[in-house]
Structure formats: C-alpha cells, structure tokens
Amino acid sequence: MNHKRVARLMREHGIQGAHRRRRRSLTRPDKKARPAPDLIGRDFHADIPGTKLVGDITFLPTAEGWLYLACWLDLATREVVGYAMADHHRAELVVDALNMAHGRAGLEPGCVIHSDRGSEYTSAQFRDRISELGLRQSCGRTGSCFDNAAAESFWALLKEEIGTRIWPDRATARAEVFTFIETFYNRRRLRKHKTFGYLTPAETRQRHQHTLAA
C-alpha cells in the first residue's frame, strides 16, 4: 500500500498521525558567567563508572504547574545515578541531583560533569559544589543539542515511555518519574547494543564492579 492511499484512508476515517512534541529548551545562559571548557567533545563513552557524567533539565506539565527534573547519567553504564525534582529550576535543583550522584555512584576524583551552559550550571552554587567534591566541570556550546546528545536521548526515552500528557498534580508526575527511573530504566531496560552486553544499566555497573574486584 503506497503512502498516497494510506493518506487518503486516514482522511476518510478521520485519523491523524502522531507527532512528537518538540522539546522547549530550558537553557538560559548567564552572559556574565564564563563557561567551562568542553571536556567531552561529543565523546559519550567511558570505560570506568564514576568518571564521566552528563546532565540536563527537563520539565513535565501538571495541573499545578511545571515539575522540573534534573538528571545525571553515568556514561560508562548509562545509569541514572542522580536526579532531583522540584517546582523550580534554580541552581539547587542540579546541585541536589549531583549530591545524589556523588553519594550513590562513588564518583572518582576528577570525574567530568558535563552539561549545557544554562545559568543553573554556571551558577556559583553549582560550581562551588563541584569544587568541593573534587570534580571537573564541562559545558557544551549554547544551542547545540548534539553537545549533550546522551542526555537528550534519555529525555526522549522518558517522554516516550511515560507520555507527554498533563498530570493532575506534581505528586503524580513525580511518582511516575521515580517508577520509570528506579523500576524500569535502571533495572529492567536492556541496553540494545553489544557495547553494554545487552544488560540493564544496573547490571552494567555490577559487571564493572566485579571486573575491578577480580
């Protein structure tokens, strides 16, 4: 069946194709802040967990207003090692997510923390915390989603799995995000690539730990 016939049948039956919403960027660079260098260079590969993280912020619509979500992914495992949710996207949101990643993932000294140049990431609060933890900051270019493609890919998967509807309240949206990350993505979703041995992110981390302990 060719595409013209498909289009005609869809019109006759009142069917419309589904369109993925274009994600509105939250990146608002602080023109006064000096951005960190790009230490990733679009190389989204890491051999050892806790050495290279990528992060970003997205938002979910609810009847109460936006719910903002900040995440940090470990590039060695693609596991979400840190995340935070709030009704704002001030600097403390990304700091809270980073604190979780540090406590949960055992970040190595000098671990690269990569993000865009949003004001949350160039804030003194975030940079001070990175310095306190002995980590290295990395920033992609403003307006280039390809410089943070691994994080963008995770957002696409999140929206695909939980949908893009308007949740009745922030608590409901928060619960769905938690379930997606902790129950499905980290522990049940198989990596569709031989690089990760077709394992879940959590299994990939465990494999690395066993290798280092051997």
Q: What are phi and psi of 81, to 5 degrees?
A: -100, -15
What pLDDT, on the 0 to 100 scale, is given for residue 203?
Answer: 84
What pLDDT, on the 0 to 100 scale, is given for residue 201?
Answer: 84
Residues 6+ apart with CB under 8 A from 167: 60, 61, 62, 63, 67, 173, 176
pLDDT in tens, 64-112: 999 999 999 999 999 999 999 999 999 999 999 999 999 997 899 999 9
Q: Which one-letter amino acid corresponds to residue 133?
A: L
Give the DSSP letter string of 93-161: HHHHHHHHHHHHH-PPTT-EEEE--BHHHHSHHHHHHHHHHT-EEEE--TT-GGGGHHHHHHHHHHHHH
What pLDDT, on the 0 to 100 scale, is given for residue 85?
Answer: 98
Q: In this structure, are residues 70 and 84 in contact, taking their beta carbons and an 8 Å threshold? A: yes
- Show pLDDT as tens, one digit a residue, over the chain (214 residues): 544 554 554 455 444 444 344 445 555 555 667 889 999 999 999 999 999 999 999 999 999 999 999 999 999 999 999 999 999 999 999 999 999 999 997 899 999 999 999 999 999 999 999 999 999 999 988 767 889 999 999 999 999 999 888 999 999 999 999 999 999 999 887 665 556 667 888 787 777 666 666 6
Tokens representing 142? 């403003």
Q: Which candidate, 173, 111, 152, places its Cα nearest to that of 27? A: 152
**Residue 143: other Cβ atoms inside 10 A:** 11
What pLDDT, on the 0 to 100 scale, is given for residue 189?
Answer: 77
What pLDDT, on the 0 to 100 scale, is given for residue 20?
Answer: 40
**Residue 193: other Cβ atoms inside 10 A:** 9
Walk me through the domains of the chain, giving residue ranges and CATH numbers. 28-169+180-213 (3.30.420.10)
Q: Which helix (H) or strand (E) holds 212?
A: helix 201-213
The alpha carbon of residue 66 and the mean position of all alpha carbons in its chain are separated, in whole angstroms, by 17
